[in-house]
Amino acid sequence: MSERAAERSVLFVFGASFLAGIGLLVVYILGGQTQVEGILLMICLGGIGAGIVVWAHWLMPTRVHVEPRGSVATTAEDLERFRDALTEEAGFSRRKLLIGALLGAFGGLGAALAIPVLSLGPAPGKSLFETSWREGSQLAPPDGSPGQVADLPIGGVFTVFPFGDTSDPNSATLLIRVEPELLELDPEAAEWAPDGYIAYSKICTHAGCPVGLYRASQHTLICPCHQSEFDVLRGARPISGPAARPLPQLPIARRADGTFVALGDYPEPVGPAFWNMLW
């Protein structure tokens, strides 16, 4: 293969690689088609590989240079010959067009590699740290009124949401009534349990299942998915099962009419732990 033909071949395959990478990104944006995407990715990667092979084999000289031993002094002519040898050996500086084509091919590959990033979807933002509970939100059953929780008997439990808003499943909360003297909570947490009413997140901190079973005789909440148990009297700390983090406690206060309101959102994220949340 002549040097001219080799250059054209390299330009062709690098160009095909660039166009395939851009085409792959366009196909993905338009809705995607697995077979077409696979073919385009093959062309993109194969074009880069084939171009590099042709370049190395046909456009980078491998001549043997034999220099007789002579004076050890370096002359300007020696430096020039050395510089020329390096240039020929590298095979780059004299072919700027090929370098540009190679960079373009890598640009196409970069466009193809952007697809996994785009497939991650939108960033979660603050959604993992917040629920729909706000200061002043009234506690109420999903289809009921705030007054229904006012006379909860000891040992009773209600699933509650902010009154009139059940759109956020992470806001699901268990309101439980226990004997106030049995509670063993930190001073701040104790203030959030007026008259023995205490509210914990219903989302298990192991895998996010709903913690819907309450064993009143032992004051424990049980997750039906993997049998994690939480001690209601001691801040819903896990006492068995795979869960390693307590259920977050919702700060609440009781009004004069017997209803309950939230003092704010949960002080820590609900549900399973994730990458940037401390245990």
Residue at 166 is within a domain = yes
Shared-domain flag, residues 147 and 113? no
Q: Are 263 and 251 in contact (CB under 8 A)?
A: yes
Residue at 124 is within a domain = no
Inform me whether the pLDDT recorded for 248 exceeds 60: yes
Residue at 13 is within a domain = yes
Shared-domain flag, residues 148 and 244? yes
- Rounded to the nearest integer, the mean pLDDT of the chain is 85
Shared-domain flag, residues 241 and 157? yes
Q: Taking residues 141-145, report their average pLDDT.
A: 89
Shared-domain flag, residues 173 and 103? no
Residue at 133 is within a domain = no
pLDDT in tens, 91-140: 555 567 777 777 888 887 887 777 777 777 676 667 778 899 999 999 99
pLDDT in tens, 24-58: 888 888 888 888 888 988 998 888 888 888 877 77
Q: Give the span between the Cα atoms of 271 and 266, in whole angstroms.
A: 11
Residue at 61 is within a domain = yes
Q: How confident is the model at residue 242 (pLDDT cuts 50, 70, 90)?
A: very high
Q: Which range marks the domain in which residue 225 is found?
A: 139-262
Q: For residue 192, what pLDDT is reported?
A: 96
Shared-domain flag, residues 99 and 19? yes
Q: What is the 3-state secondary structure (H, E, C) of the chain?
A: CCHHHHHHHHHHHHHHHHHHHHHHHHHHHCCCCHHHHHHHHHHHHHHHHHHHHHHHHHCCCCCCCCCCCCCCCCCHHHHHHHHHHHHHHHCCCCCHHHHHHHHHHHHHHHHHHHHHHHCCCCCCCCCCCCCCCCCCCEEECCCCCHHHHCCCCCCCEEEEEECCCCCCHHHCEEEEECCHHHCCCCHHHHHCCHHHEEEEECECCCCCCECCEEECCCCEEECCCCCCEEEHHHCCEEEECCCCCCCCECCEEECCCCCEEECCCCCCCCCCCCCCCCC
Higher-scoring residue by pLDDT: 221, 101: 221
Q: For residue 187, what pLDDT is reported?
A: 92
Residue at 132 is within a domain = no
Q: Domain of 150: which CATH number?
A: 2.102.10.10
Q: Are 238 and 230 in contact (CB under 8 A)?
A: yes
* 141-164 burial: b if 16+ Cβ within 10 Å, else e: beeeebeebeebeeeebbebbbbe
Number of domains the chain is built from: 2
Residue at 106 is within a domain = yes
Shared-domain flag, residues 106 and 148? no
Q: Which strands sit side by side in the sheet containing 139-140, from one edge to the other?
A: 139-140, 157-162, 173-177, 197-201
Residue at 173 is within a domain = yes
What count of other Cβ atoms lies within 10 Å of the Cβ of residue 193? 22
Shared-domain flag, residues 105 and 143? no
Backbone angles phi, psi at 158, to 5 degrees: -130, 140
Q: Are 15 and 50 in contact (CB under 8 A)?
A: no
Shared-domain flag, residues 184 and 251? yes
Q: For residue 51, what pLDDT is reported?
A: 85
Shared-domain flag, residues 245 and 156? yes
Shared-domain flag, residues 147 and 252? yes
